């Protein structure tokens, strides 16, 4: 997960942790790409607006890499109008989490993206 706001990042870490998932957080899109080059993940959550490289650019870079094309990538944002959803999904995101998130939102996301019910 990549979000440059530590509070938002920590909240999602806690909610995912309650579902028994291990979470690795970074503060920038650049660090997210570096981590993806080194490790394998089941799911990536990206804040759309980060100071260095935004989530949209990170998602595009992920989709350009053959080994990551099937990796579920979720946009994590507080700034999304309903009409933007289609544009975000067209970039290559598999789903969208709107801040502030609830435990039910995160549980539903895991069910949809990972194909299991915790």
* Domain chopping of the chain, boundaries: 6-111
Find the Cα–Cα–Cα–Cα dihedral 49, 54, 55, 58, rounded to 10°. -170
What pLDDT, on the 0 to 100 scale, is given for residue 80? 72
- CATH 3.40.50.2300 is held by the domain 6-111: yes
User: How many angstroms separate the most distant Cα atoms in the chain?
Assistant: 35
What pLDDT, on the 0 to 100 scale, is given for residue 28? 94
Name the β-bridge partners of 44.
73
| pTM, two decimal places | 0.92
Which residues of the chain, if any, have pLDDT below 50? Answer: none
* Residue 31 three-state SS: helix
């Amino acid at each position: 997960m990549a979000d440059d706001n530590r509070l938002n990042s920590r909240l999602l870490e806690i909610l995912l942790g309650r579902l028994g998932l291990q979470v690795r957080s970074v503060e920038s899109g650049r660090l997210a790409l570096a981590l993806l080059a080194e490790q394998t993940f089941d799911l990536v959550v990206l804040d759309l607006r980060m100071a260095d490289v935004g989530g949209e650019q990170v998602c595009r870079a992920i989709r350009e890499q053959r080994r990551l094309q099937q990796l579920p990538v979720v946009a994590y944002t507080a700034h999304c109008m309903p009409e933007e959803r289609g544009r975000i999904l067209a970039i290559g995101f598999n789903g969208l989490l709107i801040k502030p998130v609830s435990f039910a939102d995160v549980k539903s996301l895991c069910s949809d993206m990972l194909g299991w019910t915790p």
